């Protein structure tokens, strides 16, 4: 039984080690450029949008409703267009909690008189039992807890994303990925979200905090990342051990 439980863990560890052994002496490979919608995990985004509204074209006017300029707008608007996302994360959070609790309980139980039955206690209990001091308890509980969380993150990046969908209300669903390899370390940046065309600047850029349902991931693969990551066995023990 124990062997059957250990074998899946060994197989999982072997898969990870085999992947590392396959790139010994070689840098991590770059991913090929692919269509994001061809990924089996990709799903079209569906969000609440208002109904379509027909705009009447005014006569004898060079201005068209919805246009931002008399000239052609160079900003992303259709599926397949590119837009540059400016990722500037500067988060600083400090949390501190402290809890103190104290409780003292004292309880006493005596049976000096109970319809004359107190004289019969010696038939059940030893002769040395005094009915006036049958039970006396004293308990004390003191708790002191303290926790502190401090996070400071700063990321400044630019990544080009592709428009994948044009929602009925005009909002754009975008997704982009960027990979940079330096020596034997590969850095990956991926971003997804929904943006309004009005938030796109004239230079075809948009800040990441203007994205709805934003999903931003920044990580890496390579020799340095392998050293910083816990081994599979340690991760399993941390998840299973109750102490």
For 194-236, how does the pLDDT look when each residue is reduced to its tens digit (9 = 90+)?
Answer: 999 999 998 999 999 999 888 888 888 887 777 777 777 777 7
What pLDDT does residue 121 have? 62
The pLDDT value given to residue 83: 93
Structure tokens at 39: 């990924």
Q: CA–CA separation, 105 vs 121, rounded Å?
A: 27
Q: What is the pLDDT of residue 52?
A: 65
Strand order through the sheet with 212-222: 205-207, 82-109, 135-166, 172-182, 185-195, 212-222
Comparing CA positions, the residue from 187, 195, 201, 208 lying closest to residue 90 is 208
pLDDT tens figures, 51-88: 666 666 666 666 666 555 566 667 888 888 899 999 98
CA distances, 35 to each of 67, 160, 176, 199, 211 (Å):
30, 14, 10, 25, 21
Judged by phi (left if over 0) then psi (alpha if -120 to 50, else beta), residue 193 lies in left
pLDDT, averaged across the chain: 76
Ranges 103-107, 155-159, 186-190, 209-213: which has the least confidence: 103-107
Which range has highest mean pLDDT (96-105, 144-153, 203-212)? 203-212
Beta strand 212-222 with 205-207 is unpaired
CA–CA dist 167, 115 (Å, integer) = 85
Q: 24 in the Ramachandran plot: left (φ > 0), alpha (ψ -120 to 50) or beta?
A: beta
What is the pLDDT, as a whole number, of residue 36? 82
pTM score, whole prediction:
0.56
- 184 in Cβ contact with 176 (< 8 Å): no
Of 218, 221, 154, whose CA–CA distance to 182 is shortest? 221
pLDDT value for 163:
92
List the domain boundaries for the chain.
95-148
Quickly count: other Cβ atoms within 10 Å of residue 73's Cβ. 13
| 128 vs 110: which has the higher pLDDT | 110
Q: Does 240 or 26 have the greater pLDDT score?
A: 240
Pick from 35-39, 65-69, 74-78, 139-143: least confident: 65-69
Q: What was the pLDDT predicted at 122? A: 61
Band of pLDDT at residue 17, cut at 50, 70 and 90: low
Alpha carbon distance 108, 110 (integer Å): 7
- What are the φ and ψ backbone dihedral angles of 86, each rounded to 5 degrees? -95, 110
């Amino acid at each position: 039984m124990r062997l059957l439980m250990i074998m899946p863990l060994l197989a999982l560890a072997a898969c990870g080690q085999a992947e590392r052994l396959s790139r010994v002496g070689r840098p991590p490979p770059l991913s090929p450029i692919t269509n994001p919608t061809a990924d089996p995990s990709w799903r079209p985004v569906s969000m609440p949008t208002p109904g379509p509204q027909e705009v009447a074209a005014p006569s004898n006017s060079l201005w068209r409703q919805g246009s931002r300029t008399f000239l052609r707008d160079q900003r992303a608007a259709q599926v397949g267009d590119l837009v540059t996302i400016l990722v500037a994360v500067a988060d600083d959070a400090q949390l501190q909690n402290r809890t103190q609790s104290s409780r003292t309980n004292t309880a006493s139980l005596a049976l000096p008189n109970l319809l004359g039955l107190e004289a019969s206690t010696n038939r059940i209990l030893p002769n040395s039992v005094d009915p006036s001091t049958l039970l006396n308890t004293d308990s004390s509980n003191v708790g002191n807890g303290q926790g502190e969380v401090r996070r400071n993150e700063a990321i400044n990046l630019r990544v080009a994303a592709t428009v994948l969908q044009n929602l009925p209300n005009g909002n754009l669903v975008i997704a982009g990925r960027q990979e940079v390899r330096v020596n034997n370390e590969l850095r990956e940046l991926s971003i997804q979200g929904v943006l309004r065309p009005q938030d796109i600047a004239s230079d075809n850029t948009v800040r990441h905090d203007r994205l709805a349902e934003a999903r931003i991931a920044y990580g890496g693969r390579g020799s340095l990342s392998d050293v910083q990551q816990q081994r599979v066995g340690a991760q399993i023990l941390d998840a299973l051990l109750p102490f």
